[in-house]
Amino acid sequence: MPMRVGLVVPHIFMQRDILPNVIFSPGKLALELADGLTKLGIEVVLFTPGEIDSQAQNITADLSLFEQELTCRGDGYLDLLKKHPLTFVTLARQVQGELVSKAYRMANDNQLDIVHVYTNEEEIAMPFASLCNKPVVFTHHDPFSFLVRYKNIMPKYAHLNWVSISYAQRVDMPADTNWVGNVYHGHSDTILTPISTPIGDYFTYFGRIIQPKGVHLAIQAVKRYNETAKVPMKLKIAGKHYGESEKNSYWEEFIVPELNEYIEYVGFIEKSIDKRNFLGNAAALLVPSIFPEPFGMVSIEALACGTPVVALNSGALSEVIEDGRTGYVIDKVINESTVLNETATVQSLAECLPRVLTIDRTDCRKAYENKFTAELMSQGYLDIYQKLSSL
């Protein structure tokens, strides 16, 4: 009989009508994993708040009361999140609890061999994991110390079965954490392939436009590069910004004043073909993250398109990028007071940009194929499931 895996993805964005319109990599990765495991002959039950498109069996929550509240307010899910985040989180937690309960109940009824809680809504699933008769495994998608709610509770449950998405992600967990494996992310988007003759007349930043991602550092680095370059290069910025939020002035203060003929904002890119054209024609992707990246999904999308990556040495980026072969990893310059020296760091980034133009783009594609495909990701998790089930 094939192994039966319950993949629990309780984030409220996991709905057919919402997921395509938001930046939520864990949700899209969960679908890759569900479909990849199905191809490997595993019976996957995917637990999500709303119906989702997948090859796996899909079990959903009862959203009627949540949607009744939205109707009374005249809001959609994303509207409520922006206007009343505490109300949104309260209602979302109720949905998450229902899904975790369903998964554990099915496991205890011998309908599942293993339960895999896959996104960052573990607070409900962790305390009750001991009540599940089958193995429960957890994959977290942020640094474990990224939010107060993580660092206050994660160490209490270090004895549970944890899978890291990079070895760098493990740094913030206790030394005795029960790591049962490390599985790098992967994707199976066949559209993300190299362009035969890339234009290569611009660098790019692609992702959320928030301060921890260091977009302002990319801007300053390209400006510094253009001061001495024989042929100036553009920086094309793609992604979602949050300028409409009263609590986030980053877009208005650090990005908008810099926009000109060489610093261009192109908006949010959703379709794979547009993403391929954008990444595949770039000379390089810049990933100047300041915070410890737990993985860096956009980097492997660039590699799939044959595009090299220049990144700061933040978190897992040095695991994703092979320095000197698929791009360059630049050390951040830190002052004596452990504060980032942005001027010196920008200079290091700028000095690296001429070198990245000589990277062999076929090596970038090979690195993706050898390390970051959905098939490799799915097999990695299956190996862990089989190990846990045999204990």
Spatial contact of 133 and 112, defined as CB atoms under 8 Å apart: no
Residue partners of 190: CB distance under 8 A and separation at least 6 = none
* Percent of the chain surpassing pLDDT 90: 79
Residue 46: count of CB within 10 angstroms of its CB: 26
State the residue for tokens 């989180």.
89
Exposure string of 336-349, with b = 16+ CB inside 10 Å and e = fewer, is: eeeeeebeebbbbb
Give the pLDDT band of residue 245 (cuts 50, 70, 90). low
**Cα(338)–Cα(45) distance, integer angstroms:** 46
Beta bridge partners of residue 163, listed in sequence order: 139, 181
Q: Which helix (H) or strand (E) holds 182?
A: strand 179-182
Beta bridge partners of residue 328, listed in sequence order: 310
* Entry pTM: 0.93
**pLDDT one-digit tens code per residue, 310-368:** 999 999 999 999 999 999 999 999 987 788 999 999 999 999 999 999 999 999 999 99
Give the pLDDT band of residue 243 (cuts 50, 70, 90). low
**pLDDT one-digit tens code per residue, 89-139:** 888 889 999 999 999 999 999 999 999 999 877 888 999 999 999 999 999
Structural class in CATH, domain 202-371: alpha beta
Q: Helices 374-389 and 25-39 sit at what angle, rounded to 10 degrees? A: 70
Q: Do domains 4-187+373-389 and 202-371 have the same CATH topology?
A: yes
Residue partners of 58: CB distance under 8 A and separation at least 6 = 45, 46, 48, 51, 52
Helix (H, G, I), strand (E, B) or coil at 350: helix
Which of 65, 61, 46, 193 shows the shortest CA–CA distance to 119? 46
**Cα(40)–Cα(32) distance, integer angstroms:** 12
* Percent of the chain surpassing pLDDT 70: 98
Q: Cα–Cα distances in Å, from 111 out to 48, 73, 114, 389?
A: 17, 39, 9, 14
Q: Cα–Cα distances in Å, from 333 out to 217, 236, 341?
A: 12, 25, 5
The whole-number pLDDT of residue 39 equals 96
Helix (H, G, I), strand (E, B) or coil at 74: coil
* DSSP per-residue letters across 211-279: GGGTHHHHHHHHHHHHHH-SS--EEEEES-B-TT-TT--HIIIIIGGG-SSSEEEEE---SHHHHHHHH
Residue partners of 369: CB distance under 8 A and separation at least 6 = none
List the domain boundaries for the chain. 4-187+373-389, 202-371
**pLDDT one-digit tens code per residue, 83-99:** 888 888 888 889 999 99
The whole-number pLDDT of residue 44 equals 98
How large is the average pLDDT for residues 47-63?
A: 94
**Cα(345)–Cα(118) distance, integer angstroms:** 35
Q: Which fold has domain 4-187+373-389?
A: Rossmann fold (3.40.50)
Q: Which two tokens stand for residue 124?
A: 């409900």
Helix (H, G, I), strand (E, B) or coil at 111: coil
